[in-house]
Structures are given as C-alpha cells and as structure tokens.
Chains A and B, each alone.
Chain A
Amino acid sequence: MNAYTIQMRLGLTAIVASAFLLLIAIPNWVTSPSNVRNIVLSPTFWPYVLSGLTGLVGVGLVLAAFREAKDGPRFDEPVRDPRQAGIRLAIMTLIMLIITLGTASIGMVWMSMAAFIATAALVRTRHPVAAVICGILLPLALYAFFAHVASVAIPQGNLVRLP
C-alpha cells in the first residue's frame, strides 16, 4: 500500500463509521432519559460529538490523500504469497474463535496446548519437537501459577480435570 491508498481508505472508513454512528448506532443503542434538561448532559451528547469529529477527521484524511501521488512508492513490506497469507490469517481467526467459544467446555489448559501447537505449525516453525514440548509445558506452568498461586478459577472443562 502507498500513502494515497492508506489515507484514502482510512478517510472513507472514518466517514462511513461516523455516518453509521450518527444515523444508526447512537439513536438505537444509546439510551437517554426523557427528562434531560440540558443537551450537554445527555448520554448521547458525547458519542455524537466524537462521531462528528471522526467524520471530520475522515474528510481531512480524504483531502490529504488527494495531495499524494496515486502511484507513489509502497511503504509496507510486500507479502510473498498474499493468497497463502490470507489463508493463514483465516485459520488464525478460526483458532481465536475456537479458543473463545470452546475453552469453557474443553478447558483452558488443553485448549492452550492445542492453540500453541496449531499456531506454531501455522507460522511454520523449524523446531516442531520443541514446539510440542513448549506447547505442553507452558500451559501447565501457567495453570500452576494462576490456579495455585493467584487463586484464579481456570476453566477445567469436561474432559480431564487437573489437581
């Protein structure tokens, strides 16, 4: 991405986000009592001000983008294989989703072991044996600390319960 693309995309996103907040999100999802005498004390006042400012910054970014050359130099490292990279990011998203939704039933320790090993495989580690060993030991060590030292109720799940 070059400077033009970055500024333009950010600006347009900010304008769309601002419009969404002003027209849909704040009227529907911010509750204001009917007896507020002064608008500046209303729960909606601050979100409206911030949304408006976001829109203005978005316009500023779009105007700033027009000062940049459309075919200007790239500023980020090109990814070697964008399609493969996209697939890896999608798999990582799936891992995150499984961690969030499955930890309660599977247990944090087992889920962390699986997540460590899966992530290490995803980033194509050259130390698979070390990854498996670390993937088993690190969650166990963290469980020991948080459950027995910090007294945090780490979810154990329905499979195997640790002491």
Chain B
Amino acid sequence: MNAIDSVMAGLALVGNLQAVMSLAIGVVVGVIGGAIPGMSATMAVALTLPFTFAMPTIPALLLLLGVYKGGIFGGSIPAILIKTPGTPASSATILDGYPMAERGEAGRALGMALWASCTADLISNLALVLFAGWLASFAMNFGPPEFFTLILFSLTIIAGVSGESLLRGALSALLGLLLATIGLDLVYGTNRFTFGDPNMMGGLNFIAVLIGLFAIPEVLAMVLNPTGHLGKARSLGKNWVTFADYRRSFRSIVRGSVIGVVLGSIPGIGAAPSAFLSYSEARRTSKNKDNFGKGEVEGVAAAEAGNNGVAGATLIPLLALGVPGDVITAIIIGAFMVHGLQPGPMMFVTNIDIIYGLFIGLILSSFLLFVIGSAAIKGFKYVADIPRRLLIPGVLILCIYGVFAVNNNLFDVGVMFVMGWLGFLMMRYHVPASPFLIAFILGPLLEDNFRQAMLMSGGSPAILVRGPITWFFWALTAITLVAIIRAGFRAVQNGSPKIRPQQ
C-alpha cells in the first residue's frame, strides 16, 4: 500500500457518521470530565473505556482519543473560573488565567485558552503524522534486546519524573512490575502467585487495575473528607479574545506546541511539566514579562499550548513502539488490546488503514475541539453546579458496571476494590500512580523480551549490549538516572520540599 492508498483506506474508515459522532461525543465527555474538579481526563478516559467494548474499532478508539483531547482542554475552564485546575496539566493556566477572571476578563482568558489549545493540538497531531511512521520503520530493526533496553529506559524516566521523588517513583514502578508477574509463567506455563485460583491464572485484569487505581481512590478520599467544597465560579465578562491577542501570542503558542511535542514524545513526562516549561519560556522571552502572573493573556496561551501540545505527541511512542507516552495512552492501549490490536511497529504493516484512520480522526478532533470548546465555555456553570457528593457515588457505580463488563466476572470487581485501596494509600503517601500502571502494562513485555534475549544468547547477558541501539538506550538510561539523582541532591541542598501538598 502506498501513502495515497493508505490515506484513502483511512478516510474510508473515518468518513462516516458513526466515527465522527464518536469523536464528537468523546470530546464532549472529555471537556465535561476535565471541567469537573475532582474528576480528570485520566478518570474520564478510564470510565469511558468499558463503553467502547461493544463498538467497532475505529469509533471506539476515536471516542477515547476525543475524551483525551477534550479532557486536557476542559481542565483549563475551572482553572480560570474558580482557580481549581480540572487536571494537573492545567495548573500553569491558573497563574494568569485566574487574575484575568478577577479582572472581569474570564471570557477573554477562556477564548485564548481554546485558541491556543486547538492550535497546539493541531501542531501535535501533525507531528504525530510526520514522525510516527518514521519511528516505526526504524523500530522494525529492533529485536528482543533492543526492546528490553527501550522499555527499561521508558520505565526509568517514568519512575523518575512522575512524582517528586525518584525513590517513590521507583517503588511505584517496582510494585507495578511485581503485580504483573501474577499468572502463568510466559515460558514454562507454571503458576506464579495464583494461589490455585483459576481467576488469577491469566494475571490481574488490566482495566480492573487501572480503574481501581485512578477512580476508586477519589471515592475513598471523599469518604475520608466529605466536606471539600468548590470555589465560586466567576462570570465570563464582556471582553472576548481578539485576533490581535492571538497574533501577539502566536510565537509563544508555536513554541509551547513544540515543547509539548518534544516532551510528549518522551514516555512518562506528560502535560504538566510541558505546560510549566512553555509558560516559563514565554515569560523569559516576552516583551510583557512584567505582566506575567498578573493576568497576561500570553501566559494563558503559552500554558495551554504547552499542555495540549503533548496530546498528539504521546501517541508517537504508543503507535510506533507500543510504549505508552503517558498514563492516558496507557489506558488507551487497553482499548487497542480489547479490539485485537497490538500497538507497535508491526501495526504499521498489518493495520496501516487503522493508523491512517486515527491520524485523520485526530486532525478532525482539533476542529471539533474548537466548536465544542466554545459551547463548553458558556455551559460551564451547569457543570460546576453538579454536587461532588452526588458525582462520587455515580463514579462508583460506573466503575462497577465498567469493570464487570470486561470479562463478565465479579472477581474483577473485587480486584478493582483492592487496587482502589492500594491507590488510596499511594495517594496518601505521595507515591505516584502513573509509574505503577505503566510498569504493570510494560512488565510482561520487559520480562518477555529479556527472556527471549537470554534464550537467543544461551543465557549470556552480553546480548543486551549487542549493538548501537542497545548502547544508545543504556546511555540514555544512565544519563536519566544521573540527571534525576543530581536534581534530587540539588533540591535537598536548596531546601526545597520533596513532598508538595497535593493539588
């Protein structure tokens, strides 16, 4: 299949009402999920996942990608209107968005957030289209040793940058890897931690683990402290964003988008660091740097471009290498698996029509985000009025139905509750959950590739340094570890806290 044939095949998959409606509904659900403080884009994607099992492949994947895109933007709405980021990625938007809202310019801030988000989203999607195929063709040369070193590097960086402490991130990743060993052994088929229970032989259900880890802790946190309340939403004001505002902020938007693409394509970094880096770069180079933090529209643009620039780029390692770029793409892997797809370089050979269908759908999502986001800005007050103490029991019921629907198995519901308690304890002890989930997904791949490499070499570890690709990933792993440890020591010397109050 040449490129034009691939595009036409992709268009045939996406060019129908069901696919477009799935994408639109996904964006709506995502914006609402992101806009409700206490929910998040991650939880919205996790809760939507079970609804996609009965859908055809492309609409199912587009629905989830729509939730992802909408969720990242949706988080900026409460950040600007009530100083409460709907998602961690929107924390940087508060810095200038809320002062603008206090000045009566909430509408202008939200408008700029939307324009910057859509622009960055489009740039990120184009980067995905340009680079994913190239990376996948490069990854066709990978054997088990190369994949082992790649996954090891991914886990190192995810454990190191997901939280405030390398040790707690590493502990989280190790717990995830340990949990992934439950089930029948990959080579010999013998039992590992199954306790003779047939339910355990296939390993723990991935969706039960992820919903337990990300949704149930919110239920338990609400039970622990039910009197958390929301701030007061502000009116949008009379001012709206103008094209002159957009043109003035355009350089910061493009810079933020590029930062988002670069950081998003590295597994594990995510949208929040990208938003803060984009914001600080915009402040450093702006003519109005003195206004930053006091309600500068360019600050809102930079922060939003930084966090939305990640959204397409996180799919580059997912589609090209089969390695999730962040926790949301880790959840989306579940949807691929349920529909019998294995993301990775071979997908560009065996399912190229689906790949191009996703590319076209993602580019379309940028335009849908603009239309739906405009409506969402005006409708936020209705979303903000949903009482959290009614929302949380609803989340619990959605979790029960969603997890049961995966395998028609109540054992999975029990696993979800156990994982929920584990996630709650991790939250209380400031242990990041993302490395746990990503390690749980990558654990079998890591072990499988390691053992395949050992089988190839007759047990000699020399195969793990057999060529330039493995050297490259070992070097990256070493550099990452040194950088994280040095940053940790510097933080201790400067007296900055290693544990921050949770947002």
Which of B107-115, B316-324, B326-334, B494-502 contacts the other chain?
Answer: B494-502
- Kindly report which residue of chain B lies nearest to residue A64, judged by CB atoms: B167
User: Which residues from B are CB-within-8-Å of A40?
Assistant: 450-451, 454, 459, 461
Partner of A152, one of B405, B430, B450: B405
A50-B396 in contact (CB<8A): no
Q: Is the interface of B mostly helix, strand, loop or mixed?
A: helix
Q: Which residues of A contact B451 (CB under 8 A)?
A: 40-41
Check if A47 sits within 8 Å of B192, measured CB to CB: yes
Q: Smallest Cβ distance from B152 to chain A, in angstroms?
A: 12
Q: Is the CB of B400 within 8 A of A112?
A: yes
- Which residue of chain A has the shortest Cβ distance to B226 in the bound complex? A123
Q: Is the CB of A43 within 8 A of B188?
A: yes
CA distance A79 to B53 in the complex (A): 40
> A10-B168, A33-B190, A142-B401 are contacts. A3–B413 as well, Cβ < 8 Å?
no
CB-based A-B contact count at 8 angstroms: 198
CB of B447 closer than 8 Å to a CB of A: yes
A96 pairs with B223, CB closer than 8 A: no
| CB 8 Å contact bits of B170-205 with A (1 = contact, 0 = none) | 110011011001000101101111110000000000
Per-residue interface assignment for chain A, residues 78 to 121, with 1 indicating a CB less than 8 Å from any chain B CB and 0 otherwise: 01100001001100110010011001100010001001110110
Contact, CB under 8 Å: B54 / A151: yes
Q: Say yes or no: B429 contacts A123, CB within 8 Å.
A: no
B442 contacts the other chain (CB 8 A): no
Which range holds the interface residue count of chain B? 35 or more
- Check: A161 CB closer than 8 A to any chain B CB: no
**With contacts A6-B430, A41-B455 known, is A119 near B393, CB below 8 A?**
yes
A41 vs B190: C-alpha distance in the bound complex, in angstroms? 13
Contacting residues, chain A, for B193 (C-beta < 8 A): 25, 29-30, 47
Nearest neighbor of B194 in chain A, beta-carbon distance: A29
In the bound complex, residues from chain A placing their C-beta under 8 Å from that of B284 are none
A6 to B497, CA, bound (A): 13
Report yes or no: A85 in contact with B224, Cβ–Cβ below 8 A: yes
B338: min CB distance to chain A, Å: 12
Known: A21-B178, A43-B188. A38 touches B459 (CB 8 A): yes
User: When the two chains form their complex, are residues B394 and A108 in contact, meaning their CB atoms are under 8 A apart?
Assistant: no
User: Does B393 lie within 8 Å of A116, measured CB to CB?
Assistant: yes
Q: A75-B501, A124-B389, A146-B405 are in contact. Are A134 and B410 (CB under 8 A)?
A: no
B158 to chain A, nearest CB (A): 15
Chain B 447-503 interface residues, beta-carbon cutoff 8 Å to A: 447, 450-451, 454-455, 458-459, 461, 492, 497-502
How many angstroms from the CA of A6 to the CA of B426 in the assembled complex? Answer: 10
Q: Are A61 and B54 in contact (CB under 8 A)?
A: no
A159 in contact (CB, < 8 A): no
Docked CA distance A124–B227 (Å): 9
Main secondary structure of the interface of A (DSSP, over half): helix
Residues of A within 8 A of B165 (CB): 64
The answer to whether B408 has its CB under 8 Å from any CB of chain A is yes
- Least Cβ–Cβ distance between B491 and chain A, in angstroms: 11
Chain B nearest CB from A8 CB (Å) reads 11
A6-B499 CB under 8 A given contacts A31-B190, A43-B188, A85-B224: yes
Choose from B171, B185, B401, B461 the contact partner of A54 (Cβ within 8 Å): B171
Q: Are B393 and A50 touching (Cβ within 8 A)?
A: no
Residues of B within 8 A of A50 (CB): 174, 177-178, 181
Interface residues of B (CB under 8 A from A): 51, 53-54, 165, 167-168, 170-171, 174-175, 177-178, 181, 185, 187-188, 190-195, 219-220, 222-227, 387, 389-390, 392-394, 396-398, 400-401, 404-405, 408, 410, 413-414, 417, 420-421, 428-431, 447, 450-451, 454-455, 458-459, 461, 492, 497-502
The 7 lowest CB-CB distance pairs between A and B, nearest first, are: A150-B54, A38-B459, A43-B185, A119-B393, A31-B190, A125-B389, A123-B226
